Structure 1
């Protein structure tokens, strides 16, 4: 659909580039009716990129302007720790990186790789702090889990901690 455009802008609002994004429409939509779609588009992130505007037929519908949040690296992350069993459930535990406070524009993704599996599993996304409840049964046969904490701060994504957590 040529009516949709992403406009990449610098900090002064100057246009850096334009992209006609790929739209993914619902498969059950009637082609003549109003159609809903999601935008599936990668854009090159440069140091000059400050915001992305969504235009429909030349009119700005929305703007993405991430806050310039400090990196979590400044918050001495010592890795994830596994808490004691949660009340009423021997297998449920809290996995968290202590001392990380929620900040505007910053979210966390937690991934785990059991010692008996070669694939990472995403167990939590979009969390304001790196804290998630897990069930040890989701890692059958594993004695420990390698945990990776990924921080998303607008256009910047970085792994801020990797640690091994014993499940015993």
Structure 2
């Protein structure tokens, strides 16, 4: 058999299998966006935690660090995301700023390899996040943050 024909015959099933299982070759996460209901639940939980204290390494239910907070609120909505801000950035679906909507995550740091903070986007340029002042609502463009990227759990 001709090697060209054989390689074409092998590539079609391989492509089909990779599409079925969500495998991609772009080193981008193969994630599915959280449902509208899950975002609604996560938002309600996030609002209910406003004023909770910040503790480095904490993931709730009464005290949080930034990524512990985003993981916790999505966990309550039955959506599993990574524990760290870097892990969340690397394993959720990347989006552009123009695509931001309530429930998306906003990442801050020095670069995409050095994420140091994450917040839960609530619309109108605002997020709910856990930081030194506890769980608060603040502007994503606050001068003390440097945006690195955005994603959709």
Structure-1-length-normalised TM-score: 0.26
User: Whose radius of gyration is greater, 1 or 2?
Assistant: 1
Structure-2-length-normalised TM-score: 0.28
Larger RCO (CA under 8 A, 6+ residues apart): 2
Higher percent of residues as strand:
1
